[in-house]
Amino acid sequence: MTDVCPADNGKSSWPELVGINGEVAAKIIASENPKVRVSIVEEGMLVSMEISCDRVRVWVDKNGIVKDIPEIR
């Protein structure tokens, strides 16, 4: 998580989810931190780069597997 996001925003990073199904990962993130919006993004898609302290993107490959550590940013 970046330094601009408040520390009391709940869990901010999920390294343990790399390698699992993106849909499953999104549900786990939402249950562990209900303060964030979770979206699944396919590898290679263009997204905005602004920081949002209530957003977690779950980057998945063409098979729907989480490729990068989901985190608030």
**What percentage of residues in the chain have a pLDDT greater than 70?**
93
How far apart, in Å, are the Cα atoms of 18 and each of 4, 5, 55, 58? 25, 23, 17, 9
Q: Tens digits of per-residue pLDDT, 14-59?
A: 999 999 999 999 999 999 999 999 999 999 999 999 989 999 999 9
- How is residue 39 written in tokens? 């979206």
Taking residue 18's Cβ as centre, other Cβ atoms within 10 Å add up to 14
- In whole angstroms, give the CA distance from residue 49 to residue 72: 12
Domain ranges of the chain: 1-73
Pick the CATH number of 1-73 from 3.30.70.20, 3.40.50.150, 3.30.70.100, 3.30.10.10: 3.30.10.10
- In whole angstroms, give the CA distance from residue 65 to residue 9: 26
Banded model confidence at residue 2, pLDDT cuts 50, 70, 90: very low
Q: Tens digits of per-residue pLDDT, 54-72?
A: 999 999 999 999 999 999 9
Q: What is the pLDDT, as a whole number, of residue 1?
A: 46
